[in-house]
């Protein structure tokens, strides 16, 4: 019935709007060219079309300028005022211009030489070449201006939409401030706003529109579209994500942030995606920095940094609601509200999500194994709430307080001999930000509480359920400074402290660590086409020097050569490190040997581990054309001191443990692998818009990992990395009301190596290998936008290709269909 209603609504729906940035950008560019050629009306129409697709303050500015050039002072004034209402950093200059225009208008009320705006010299009625040159100069000026403004708070006048603020952290795309308008901006690559083309690392941005059009239900699903991303979905709520190889259960080499706050679980060393306190609808954009990133983000930014930027307080619709239901007992709901009262802006969101597992390990009538959960088929149940309150007393000052919580029941796949676990826990945070001019302060507290145990356990065998309580307190100060010294310099520097504390059944005692850090980065532009970026960070960690406090150094250098403003060659040398997790340092876990009730194994941490180190050489090329953007990255990474739990070794006498009543059979200890691993890879990404409102994306990543170890046959990271990964997507936003999108990804075959016990004698350790065939993942979405885009009805299909596994111990990923309904006020 709902489908019929949806179709009926489709037939009467009034107008369309879809993904916008590329379209708006094209309209904007075309408009500016027409204006440069003196075709003001046509040019202004294009700019207005661009603004209609995606509002942007600087489009207003340029419309005003065009009207002024055309001699239409009244219209120019209107648009200058609208621009001024967005509270731009150059408000005083623009206000002065408006004042002059108003005076002139009042005095003359007749055609007269237009007074010259302070910020914009009038365009002489000259040849179009002169106009074009002038336009280019203006664009460059504007770019400079925007870089200095660094995305000041703006909002569109007369609309409920207000923009987020960038003085603190990453703003949303609605304030991709600057010209050329609709340029891809990133906020995480250098911890400040900059063009994606100027980022010193390979960067991928997933926008709100892409997220919406993809129909994805989780962040890991979205990350398949990042070149070089290794996404291994274990279950509906469990995924291992890495960049450029080295993926594993409890994947620990990607630092994940939400609005700059780490959600990397330091104690286990992974990101538990369901614990994010936000729903997918709350995400404004996802920025992914591929490659080592410790120089700005410290420990664990090993293979990359992923920053999830949420919709800002006061931005977007006043209220939204999304409902979702689908096969596999899938259901979800999210609500949000956003607004402003004076100088206070707020946003609150709530979410609920549930889904059955794709597959279960055992049938429910087995006598030899017992499910530990009340509902063994439940894969995810999550309730989330998040709130942000901003106070902006002055343009150069902003204070923000945010907090959120997620209460979840989900799957969790630990490493080693353990199999899938249940995770039942809550994670909450409080965060405070302050920005006072160039000074930024940030502090947060994250508290977790959880219980966890294997989903299935041998009937009658003592439980290994555990309880975890952890806290992270972090404080950071950052200062930005622009100065001129043999060219333009942009300096970012900061200091940080982090306290980590965990009490966990598997640790012998309360574990507590204090970390300190300092970093500095300078972007030096001695010559317009050349940018040199130098970065350095030092981290003090309590265990890095043979179990004693020690330091980790993370330098990075990058050179960017701009052949044109949109054609960039980038070379970089970067480093990163990963510190041992609590699990790797302090674990002391005794497990019964399955099938031998009098035997146990012991998994032990090692506080003397050296940090994992990576040294990366990279060459990148990026180009932005009218309808195509292209990027290429080729890299060679060397990984040293890889941390792992070593092979199971037979226990030494004596073996009797009176506490457990078992004999220790064998044990494994976390250790540094003496081998050096070399990853060679290349990533190509192409985005194209062959037709208006049609987007295509194609990524190809190739990678080979080798080792200098004598027995390279046993190189675990070598066989576990797929040599080829391909992602392709197509999106068509049909003019009136329909969105069509589909994506497909292919991941090449791998062989996973696991340390196990022999089947016929579980007291004997062995190394087992599990080949995993390459697989294809296909998703599609069909959506109708109704009631002037205030309502959207979508049918989403995920994993539409054949059932497959993405890890030998993971679920059989099966096809699911969803129906979603979203509305906004």
Contact status: 623 vs another protein (CB under 8 A): no
Question: How many CA atoms lie within 13 Å of 722's alpha carbon, on the beta-carbon side?
Answer: 25
CA atoms within 13 A on the CB side of 71: 9
Q: From CA 786, how far away is CA 159, in angstroms rounded?
A: 20
| Closer of 531 and 772 to another protein (Cβ) | 772
Q: How far apart are alpha carbons 40 and 22 in whole angstroms?
A: 22
Q: Which of 1, 12, 74, 486 binds another protein (CB under 8 A)?
A: 1
One character per residue 726-755, x = contact with another protein (rule: CB under 8 A): ----------------------------x-
SS3 readout for 223-251 = HHHCCCEEEEEEECCEEEEEECCCCCCCC
Q: Which range binds another protein by CB under 8 A, 72-80, 95-103, 394-402, 764-772?
A: 764-772
User: Residue 351: is it exposed, middle or buried by C-beta count within 10 angstroms (0-12/13-18/19+)?
Assistant: buried
C-beta closer to another protein: residue 78 or 763: 763
Task: Give 395's DSSP letter.
Answer: T
* 2 lines the binding site for another protein (CB under 8 A): yes
- Least distance to another protein from the beta carbon of 327, Å? 5
DSSP for 108-130? H-S--PPPPPTTSPPPPS--HHH
Q: Does 815 contact another protein by CB under 8 A?
A: no
CA gap 664, 650 in Å, rounded: 9
Q: List the one residue from 56, 65, 381, 602 that touches another protein (CB under 8 A).
A: 381
Among 92, 129, 144, 368, binds another protein (CB under 8 A): 368
| Of the candidate residues 126, 136, 362, 495, the single one contacting another protein (CB under 8 A) | 362
In the DSSP assignment, the letter for residue 711 is -
Q: By the 8 A CB rule, do 556 and 292 touch? A: yes
Nearest distance in Å: CB 334, another protein: 11
| Cα–Cα distance, 390 to 465 (Å, whole number) | 41
**Sequence-ordered alpha helix ranges (H) in 574-674:** 582-586
Binding mask 98-137 for another protein (x = CB under 8 A): ----------------------------------------
Distances (CA, A) of 765 to 454, 462, 626, 657: 21, 21, 59, 20
Asked whether position 325 contacts another protein by CB under 8 A, the answer is yes
Of 302-310, 366-374, 506-514, 671-679, the window that binds another protein (rule: CB under 8 A) is: 366-374
* DSSP conformational letter for 198: G
- Nearer of residues 391 and 812 to another protein, judged by Cβ: 812
d(CA 356, CA 378): 4
Q: How far is the CB of 40 from another protein (least distance, A)?
A: 50
Q: Compute the radius of gyration of the chain from its Cα atoms.
A: 28
Helix (H, G, I), strand (E, B) or coil at 106: helix
Answer yes or no whether residue 652 interacts with another protein by CB under 8 A: yes
Nearest approach in angstroms of CB 232 to another protein is: 14
Query: Residue 598 phi/psi, 5° resolution?
Result: -90, 5
Size of the site for another protein (CB under 8 A): 77
Q: Which stretch binds another protein (CB under 8 A): 89-97, 172-180, 570-578, 595-603?
A: 595-603
Of the candidate residues 33, 134, 329, 467, the single one contacting another protein (CB under 8 A):
329
Exactly one of 367, 394, 486, 710 binds another protein (CB under 8 A); that residue is 367
Is 484 a residue that touches another protein (CB under 8 A)?
A: no
Of 767-806, binders to another protein (CB under 8 A) are 768, 770, 772, 805
- Shortest Å distance, C-beta 254 to another protein: 24
363 binds another protein per the rule CB under 8 A:
yes
**For another protein, which residue of 107, 159, 342, 365 counts as binding (CB under 8 A)?**
365
Residue in 121, 508, 598, 674 binding another protein, rule: CB under 8 A: 598
Buried b (16+ CB within 10 A) or exposed e, 69-81: bbebbebbbebbb
Q: Which of 106, 460, 486, 711 binds another protein (CB under 8 A)?
A: 460
Is 405 or 469 the residue whose CB approaches another protein more closely?
A: 405
Build a one-symbol-per-residue string for 36-55: x at contacts with another protein by CB under 8 A, - elsewhere. Answer: --------------------
- Alpha carbon distances (Å) from 743 to 127, 215, 216, 728, 731: 47, 10, 11, 6, 9
Contacts with another protein in 398-437 (CB under 8 A)? 419
């Amino acid at each position: 019935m709902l489908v019929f209603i949806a179709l009926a609504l489709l037939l009467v729906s009034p107008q369309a709007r879809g993904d916008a940035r590329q379209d708006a950008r094209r309209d904007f560019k075309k408009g500016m060219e027409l204006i440069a050629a003196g075709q003001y009306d046509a040019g202004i129409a294009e700019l207005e079309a661009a603004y209609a697709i995606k509002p942007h303050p600087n489009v207003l500015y340029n419309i005003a300028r065009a009207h002024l050039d055309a001699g239409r002072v009244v219209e120019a004034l209107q648009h200058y005022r609208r621009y001024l209402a967005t509270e731009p950093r150059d408000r005083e200059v623009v206000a002065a211009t408006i004042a002059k225009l108003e005076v002139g208008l009042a005095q003359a009320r007749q055609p007269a030489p237009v007074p010259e705006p302070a910020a914009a010299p009038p365009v002489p009625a000259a040849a179009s070449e002169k106009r074009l040159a002038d336009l280019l100069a203006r664009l460059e000026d504007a770019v400079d201006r925007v870089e200095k403004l660094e995305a000041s708070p703006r909002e569109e006048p007369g609309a409920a939409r207000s923009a987020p603020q960038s003085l603190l952290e990453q703003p949303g795309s609605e304030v991709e401030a600057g010209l050329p308008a609709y340029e891809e901006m990133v906020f995480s690559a250098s911890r400040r706003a900059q063009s994606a083309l100027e980022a010193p690392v390979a960067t991928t941005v997933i926008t709100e529109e892409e997220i919406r059009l993809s129909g994805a239900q989780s962040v890991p699903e979205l990350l398949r579209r990042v070149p070089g991303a290794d996404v291994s979905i274990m279950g509906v709520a469990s995924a291992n994500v890495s960049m450029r190889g080295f993926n594993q259960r409890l994947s620990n080499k990607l630092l994940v942030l939400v609005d700059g706050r780490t959600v990397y679980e330091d104690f286990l060393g992974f990101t538990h995606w369901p614990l994010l306190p936000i729903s997918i609808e709350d995400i404004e954009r996802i920025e992914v920095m591929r490659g080592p990133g410790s120089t700005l983000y410290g420990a664990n930014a090993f293979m990359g940094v992923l920053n999830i930027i949420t919709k800002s307080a006061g931005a977007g619709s006043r209220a939204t609601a999304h409902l979702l239901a689908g096969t596999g007992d899938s259901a979800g709901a999210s609500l949000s509200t956003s607004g402003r009262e004076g100088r206070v802006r707020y946003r609150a969101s709530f979410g609920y999500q549930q889904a059955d597992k794709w597959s279960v390990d055992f049938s429910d009538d087995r006598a030899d194994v017992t499910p530990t959960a009340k509902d063994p088929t439940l894969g995810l149940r999550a309730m989330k709430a998040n709130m942000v309150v901003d106070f902006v007393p002055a343009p150069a000052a902003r204070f923000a307080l945010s907090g959120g919580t997620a209460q979840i029941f989900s799957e969790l796949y630990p490493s080693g001999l353990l199999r899938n676990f249940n995770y039942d826990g809550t994670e909450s945070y409080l965060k405070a930000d302050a920005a006072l001019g160039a000074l930024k302060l940030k502090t947060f507290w994250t508290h977790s509480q959880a219980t966890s145990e294997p989903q299935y356990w041998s009937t009658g065998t003592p439980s290994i359920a555990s309880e975890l309580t952890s806290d992270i307190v972090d404080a950071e100060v950052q200062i930005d400074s622009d100065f001129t010294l043999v060219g333009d310099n942009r300096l970012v520097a900061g200091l940080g402290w982090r306290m980590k504390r965990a009490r966990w059944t598997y640790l012998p005692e309360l574990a507590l660590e204090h970390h300190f850090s300092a970093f500095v980065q300078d972007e030096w532009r001695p010559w317009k086409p050349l940018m040199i970026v130098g970065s350095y960070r030092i981290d003090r960690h309590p265990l890095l020097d043979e179990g004693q406090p020690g330091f980790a150094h993370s330098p990075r250098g990058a050179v960017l050569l701009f052949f044109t403003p949109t054609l960039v060659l980038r070379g970089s040398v970067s480093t990163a490190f990963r510190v041992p997790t609590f699990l790797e340092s302090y674990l002391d876990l005794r497990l019964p040997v399955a099938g031998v009730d009098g035997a146990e194994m012991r998994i032990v941490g090692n506080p003397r581990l050296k940090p994992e180190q990576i040294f990366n050489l990279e060459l990148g090329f990026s180009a932005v054309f009218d309808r195509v953007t292209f990027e290429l990255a080729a890299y060679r990474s060397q990984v040293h001191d890889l941390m792992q739990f070593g092979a199971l070794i037979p226990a030494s006498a004596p073996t009797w443990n009176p506490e457990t009543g078992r004999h220790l059979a064998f044990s494994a200890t976390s250790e540094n692998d003496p081998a050096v691993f070399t990853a060679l890879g290349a990533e190509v990404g192409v985005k194209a818009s062959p037709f208006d409102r049609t987007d295509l994306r194609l990524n190809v990543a190739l990678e080979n990992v080798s080792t200098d170890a004598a027995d390279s046959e046993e190189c675990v990271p070598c066989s576990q990395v797929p040599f080829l990964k391909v992602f392709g997507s197509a999106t068509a936003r049909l003019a009136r009301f329909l969105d069509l999108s589909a994506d497909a990804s292919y991941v090449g075959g791998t062989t996973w190596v696991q340390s196990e016990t022999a089947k016929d004698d579980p007291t004997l350790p062995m190394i087992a290998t599990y080949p995993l065939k390459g697989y294809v993942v296909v998703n599609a979405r069909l959506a109708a936008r109704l009631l002037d885009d205030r309502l959207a009805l979508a049918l989403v299909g995920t994993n539409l290709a054949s059932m497959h596994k993405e890890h030998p111990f993971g679920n059989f990923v099966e096809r699911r269909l969803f129906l979603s309904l979203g509305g906004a006020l």
